[in-house]
Amino acid sequence: MIPVLASEQLQHACTTPAFAGLVRLVSEIDDHGAIPPRALARTLPDLTPNQIRQATEQADALGLLDRSHRGLGLSAAGQDLADLYDATARWARRHNYPARICDFAGRIRHTLALLCESAVTDLRIQDGDAATGLGHVHRLLAEWVHTYQPQPTRGAYGAAA
């Protein structure tokens, strides 16, 4: 059983993987395989060089990338994050969230932001099926955080050791 995320953990978990460039990078690799060396700009033409650099730096920091002779692939953490993105987008499409027409990264960002709202029980969604599905996304997010993101340890004085 995956423990529930504390509010600060939930806030961090909802904002860290929601960067549009990171969503695009992880999803592109998940959908089409490893990106050859020096082909990032050609593969992600809608992102600026700065956005591509930020996305790869963030992906590296989160342990999402596997670098090989074929190029940038996904590590196990990256593959599981891609699965989380897919589940999140499926829920958002099914419930037209945030709108009937929205891009993939936008659906991910808005849905993760919805999870971060202080009153998770008041999700502005009255449909029980929608709340249940969003609960599934929340569980996947918590599982990903607890599996792949190191948790700070507390020292004798409450500070991270």
pLDDT over threshold 50, residue 119: no
Place of tokens 């099926």: 129
> Which of 111, 80, 82 shows the shortest CA–CA distance to 94?
111
CATH number of the domain bearing residue 93 = 1.10.10
Note the pLDDT tens digit of each residue in 88-117: 999 999 999 999 999 999 999 999 999 887
Range of the domain at 8: 1-150
> Which pTM does this prediction carry?
0.85
Note the pLDDT tens digit of each residue in 44-61: 999 999 999 999 999 999
Angle at 110 between CA 105 and CA 115, to 5 degrees: 125
Q: Is residue 161 part of a domain?
A: no
| Amino acid in position 20 | A
Place of tokens 């730096």: 57
Which phi and psi angles does 156 have, rounded to 5°? Answer: -60, -30
Q: Is residue 4 part of a domain?
A: yes
Q: Is residue 16 part of a domain?
A: yes
Q: Is residue 156 part of a domain?
A: no
Q: Is residue 115 part of a domain?
A: yes
Cα–Cα distance between 149 and 80 in angstroms, integer? 12
Domain count, the chain: 1
Residue pair 141/115 in contact (Cβ under 8 Å)? The answer is yes
